[in-house]
Each structure stands twice: as C-alpha cells, then as structure tokens.
Structure 1
C-alpha cells in the first residue's frame, strides 16, 4: 500500500487503486501518524491532534474506535492493510517503509541526486523524478492549518524549493539557460527572497543575452531585503552583480558535458525478412510501454527482431540503445556485471562501498535510453528484479527483453513471437516437386524459415548420403554461422529439432539448404 502527503492526503493500493478514506477524523488520525511515521505516537498526543481542546467523553475509548475503523478501511482496500497500524505503548505506530510514502521516496531521490555532482544529466533526471511526486505546492495540503502538521509541512516545502534550485543549477550546467530564463521567472516571483533561486535565474538571464534584466532582478532583491528585513544581499549575490557589470568571462556558458556514445548494437549481416509489421508495432509499443518482452521458442528470431527494433528506436533516444547479452549469465551477480560492463561502470576506490545494484541504479538515473536484455530465460528472476529496480529509478529508461518466458514484472508487456509461416503450396517458383505433388516453399523463404535471418553459407551440391548424415551436416552448417556463440548454436540446434517435430509430414522432405 502507498500513501501520499505531497499534496492532499491520498492512499493507494499496490496496484494503484485509490482508497477512499472518507471520515474526517480517520483522515486526521492517519495524517497524525504519517507526520511522525516510524515513531510511536502517544495516545494523549493523538487525542490532542484529533480534538484539540474539546476531547469527547471517554476520549481513549473513542480513539480506539477510530483506530479500529482506520485498520478496517486499510484491510478492506488490501489484505494485510490493518497490520500497518501497530499498537505499541504508549500509543500507536504507522509501520510503513520510506518507499511506501511519497515524501520518503522524494527524500531518497534527493539524497541519491546529491551524490551525482559530477554527472549533471543524471542528477537532473533524479531531481525531476523527485519533484514529479508533488501533487501541489503544499505538503499535507488538506491539513495545512493543523498545528501538528505545520513544522513537517514547512520542512518538506523547503526541501522542494532546494530541489528546484538544484535542478535549475544542473540544467544551467547542461546549457539550458534559454528555457530556464523564462521558467524561473514565476518561481522567483512566488519566492522573491529566496537567494538561491534568484542567483540561478539571474545567471540564466545573463547567459541568454539579457544583461539588463539580470541586473534589474538583483536590484529588486536588494530593495526587498532592505525594505522587508533591513538586510543587504549576501556575498554570493554581491559578487554576481559585480561579475555581470564587468561581463566576466566566467559567467559565459561553458560547453555542456559530452554525451555518451549512442549505443553498442552490432551491425546486421543481412536484412530482416518477414517481420516488417512486427518491427513497426513493437517500436510503437515502446513509445508508451517501458518494459516489453519478446517471448518465443529458442531460435525463432527474438534476438534479430529485438536488434532491428532497437536500431530504429535508437535514433529517437538521446543516449541510444545498448545490448546486454545474457546467454553466459547464471546468477544475479552475473546479470548485474553484464549490465555494468555494457554501461562502462567502473569501481571508484575513493567512493563509499555500495552494492553493484545501487551503482547501476545511479548509472541509469536520468538517462533517456533503451536497454536490450537478450536471452533472459535462464536468469528470469534476477533479470526481473534488476529491470524493475532500474525502471523505478529512471523514468526515461525503456527495456526490451528477449526470453522464452515473460519476466512477470509489474507493467511488463509480453509480445509472443511465432515462427514465420510457410507459404501455401504452389506459391512462388517451386524448386522441386514432392512425391505427393506438393510444391516446396521458395528458396528465399526456406533459407530464412522460422528465424527471419540467413543462417549460413549455401551448399551448392547434394550428395546421396543417408538422410541422417545429411541432417547432421546441415545442422552443423546452421550452427556455424559467423559470430555465433556456443549458446546460439545449442539454441538453434534445439529449435531445428523442435521444428522437425512440429512440421507436417510432407515438409520433412524439404531440402534444408542454406544460402
């Protein structure tokens, strides 16, 4: 169950359904527990929060009934919900993880963003995600006048302003002074004495060629500080004013940090055959869905199809598409190390010790990219866990996975990949006729049968060896294609056996030649 306080009080089930907490006293009780989440709130304090100077007769008994109603409301919404409210002397405790409350997630994202000072793009992504959790300018908005809420609401709102300032600084470092000059005007007007926001706005104005507006903004702040507080601007703003007057070169926009390479997708040897419509539809799906898994039997062409989709989507992504090959992975650590290698994540001996999963989460935060996780079927659980974690941390991340079974992650869209259909008998130019009068499929389709790509060099001649020996040689030809790993070979060999068992009797006479 998730709870929201960054705006009006809201409660949602794990699957996102809104829970109606209708009675005012029950909402007040839940708010009082949320303000002090993780702490035991005494009975006396709760009575004061709910009724102030006019408690009811039998106030302790009445409070117990309200707690019982709150537990029932949460349990009716989601099994186990009543266990969130724990009786613990001398009162009650709301037992929820920080991630279950939007304020906790907000503070967690801020802490992570502040560790990324050297990567303004990633930092901006985390700060944007954190600020998106706010559903209004005020925390606990429907209880803003209650004395027990004011201090915590004010603290969260100050953190929001600091986050806005830090986001503006990161965007300024990325060279976004033009949009910032306009966007920050309204925010500075709402908080005219906030020197940090004013400083970023003034620098954005100056870098946009609006020196007069920058100096006027600093003059306005100076007058307000003197009139309202009897103070002068701080040293930083005084030095900024002097730098603008002398047009200090240090104020000029620097070069934005260079982007990483746009991907590592291998160049295909041949064109993809028979999957044009699927490429288009899966590409469109990735625009709206964040996790798409291509499922199907081994050798059906999932990898080739995924690479084609990724190559076309990469042009629209600022940081491209990245392929992570997982055929050699056997454990969760193997999966994490494979992703870390692709993202060129290196150990920092000077940084505090952190898990590889945490470092991967930071590495993708704020990046607008597509991650292709290939051959996940033998490590489904660790891939699912890592994918869910990365997607939570990076709102602009997309994941395209290939597996023989779905990852079963919340929000996943599984897309089954069937084998390519054989053409009707007689379609195209028949190569030769079977004893029963059926025509074989055209050579071009036959060479790409079921996998959608070329599988090896053409055999020009055909001996009169027994069928079993011919099958062995042809399987070797299929699995000896340039650049294929042992994992590819074993999957293709298994797929050929599956295909032979599933084909109709007449097709067993088709010559399994390769181009």
Structure 2
C-alpha cells in the first residue's frame, strides 16, 4: 500500500466523513456518499458493479444506475487523490470490481470490531476493569447514528446492524457496572435505554437489578410492572422466563441478585457458554452431541484428533459445539475458541494471532501465547510460536475451536492445518466449524485432508418440526398459529426460528405480517449475500414461481439456457438455499422464497403472473 493510501482515515459511526493527509475529503451527498460508504464497509475487498448497484439502488435500480455509478466512482477518485494528483491510489478498479484500500484501523468500524474482540478476550480472562475500558473506548467511537443520512438498502441494513452492536456494548457495560457495585451510575442511562428499546428484556432486567442493588426494591418492582405492561400492550406477549424469575427473586428480597458471579462466573464455563447466549436454548441433535463428547473423551485419554463441523448459515454449528463442550468431560480440558472474521480475510495471520491470544487468556503462564504477528512475520517464526504454545501445555488436554473457518485468512489456514498434524502426537483436539462456500477449493481440500487424521465429520441437518416447536416454546410463549407458521417458514433453521420469534414482539402474530419484517429479512439475506449475482437473480426469479419449480419453468422465466443454469443451481444447492426433489428444485427454507419474492417490484411480479396465466 502506498503512502497516499496510508494517510486515508474514514468514519462511518455517525455522518460519514474521510480525511486524506489531514484534509477533509468532499464525499458529496446522496448516492455518491452511498457508493463510498459501501466501499468503505467492504474495505480491501472488491465489489462488482452489480453488487454496488444493488447496494445503492436495490432491486428496482433504474437503467441509468450503471452510468451514474461510473460518474460517482470518478468523482470519488478525484476527491480521494492527494492534492495535485490525477487520481487516488486508494480506490482501484480491477476485473473483479472496485476496491477501497485502507490500512488496518483506518476505519472506525474496524476499530470498533477490534475493541469488541479485545473486550471479549478480557472478559474471558476475568479482567473486568480493562474490559470496561475497552467497552468505553468502543462507545466513544460513535458520533450519532451510524451511516447517518446515507440512502440505499446496504446502508439501511448496516445501520440496523450497528445499532444492535451499540446496544449490545451498552448492555454489557451496564452489566459490568452493576457487577462492580456502581449501580447508581447506570440507572439513569438504563431508564433512557429501556424507553428507547422497550422490547429488549435484558435492559429491563438490568434496570430492575441496578435499582434493587441500590436499595430501591419498590422502584425495581415498579420497573417490572412497566416492563410487563409495555410487552403485553404493545407486543402482545408476556415477559420471558428470565425476567419473570428475576421479578420473583426481587419480590422475595433475594440479596444474591446482581452479585458479580451472575455476570462473571467460572472463566472456563464462560469460555464455552459465551459462544452462544443463554437466551438461545439448545434442542435436539443428541446423537451429534454424543459424537463430539466422545472426541473430547478421547483427548482426555491422551489421544488427539480432529473434528470437522459443517452446516448451512444459521444451522446451529456454534450452539452444537457449545452444548458438547459444556458437558462434564470438557471441564477437564482447556478450551480455546476463536471465530474468524469476514472483514479480516486479507490480514495475514490475523486469525491465528487471535487463536494464540485466546490460549494466552486461558493459560497466562504460557508467555509464548502472547505474541504480535504481522504481514511480514516469517511463516517459520509463526510455526515456532505455535510449537512453543502447544508444547508448553502439558498439564491437561487442549481443545482448540476455530469457528467460521471459511473467513480465516489463507496464512492462518496453513497454520491451522499444521496444528492438525500436531494433534496426532499430543492430547490436542482440533475443531473446525464452517459453512459451505462455492468455489472455495481451499476449504474442500481442508475437508478432504481432515480424513488423513483421526477425525470426526459432523454435517448438521435441519431441526425436525417437533424440535423446532420445542425451541420456540423454550424461547417465549407464542400463539399456536404463529408457531405453526414459523416452523413451516423456517425449514428447520434455528436462526430463522429465533429471528421470527423475536419479531413477533415488535410486529405481532406472524399471520398478520403484510411483509417479512426487516430484522428477519436481514438475517436471511446476510446468510446468502455471498452468492454470485447470477445465482441471486435466478433465485429471485424462482421465488415468483413458488416454493418449488422445474428447470423448464426457470428457463422460461429467466430466458436462460439449461447449460447456463448448471453452475448457478449447483451453487445454490451447495450453500443450502435449494434442495432437489424428484425432477424439481425447491427452496430449502420457504422463508427465503418469501423474502426474495417481496424484493421483486410489484409491477414485475404482476407481469410474470400474467405471463404464466395465474
């Protein structure tokens, strides 16, 4: 990266702004700013022309969008360039599309992600004071609503996501203040948060807890009454089990309410339980849990090995691992759990550095676990560090989990494969969890090479209907009609079940939804956002035909030839968007079909239905 690139700073947690060599960059307004925001959110990754048009204009993009995009890109190049330079080196064009090159931490959203990760590590290390500092630094990055004033569906989706991120940081900060006896400092803030987010039961619970710990039992009980009233009146649902139980404890004057142990607990238990929130109960899949616990039992007996867990997005890979490792056998192991990050795939050794940091948090006596790796670190030095860390861990078996392996940088994947080789000679269990991604030959190869070691492969099936109903019953009470509709739409995907159940609080019974709520649609579209543009367009066309259709019907609707559809349908089948059924293909999740159907302009829907004589 050139010196010009290194001097570019970008903020998106507020009104978007950029500085080049200390001077403000005129980003322009409206759609040009939306183009810049999309490129910045995907910094150091290429976005194709089609992806940018979809991000800025959405599915109803006008015919002039392509020419407009060219104009906006040209204007941004001139604006981003150093004074007197003909164009910026930060914004480049290639066969793959457009890319905005930023150094690490030049974007406030990336700094936010790093601070959240730092807080997570400190939490698992039991360092409450420094975790609180990291959370305060993360909150200080905000200067208003994220992507304020930026139009387009991409900006709107990320605005909502970042709003949720900020709320989760505020909620965790409040937990820490209550746990450390600083109840009075957080009460007023929680009152405002509850008023702005009345459906968030965790905030109601924290407000009740902080009031009770401050000696205001009557106020805490009144806070519960207000919470129940708003949940029933506005959302048609009773408070969940956790909030009701907290109310009973406060009513009984239970002095253990809000004790630090409720927020910190056993570090080893947290290292496992933190991967899936307690609000997301685990159901079914007992046979898979048993297989994974058998692998843990093997490592306890001194036999290392490898586990490969694969499933569609939202299928519950992390929940399955958390359930298996939370068993009694895992208590005798040191567990290191790292999740790869989609937005750091181009940072060499980023994921393996997080792995070593996680081991360091679990094993502070291992100095070699605390290392700083960079793009220029020789591979031999990295492998030396790895050997030292694993070699120095001799007191008890070690379980290393790499979640979302598909997002790991290539250098870290090489080191991970090396570690799997070490597992054959040590009490080391290597657990890889990933989703299928089309065209990723490196992942296919890793899966195949896993078979060379003592290995267990787990492929997650969808939940059965009874398991899906059980999950919903454990989350919150719902009307029978809503349960039946949610189960039918989700197609056994736990993430979709939970997203729709949560949406009921805000949007009422499912059968009354005029359209899929944005919070639910965002989960679905995020899961399949990495499909090729061609695959997404074919799926959108299929959505107009029904839950299932034949290849002939797809050809008639899209005008594509059979040979053109081979790779596209194979891609959709591989990621779990579609399933084969006799001589037809059908949506694996009817919810996906409904979301895609609603993304098609009404005029186009009518035209297709008229063409088919519907």
The TM-score normalised by the length of structure 1 is 0.47
Structure with greater helix share of residues: 2
Larger radius of gyration: 1
TM-score for the superposition, normalised by structure 2: 0.40
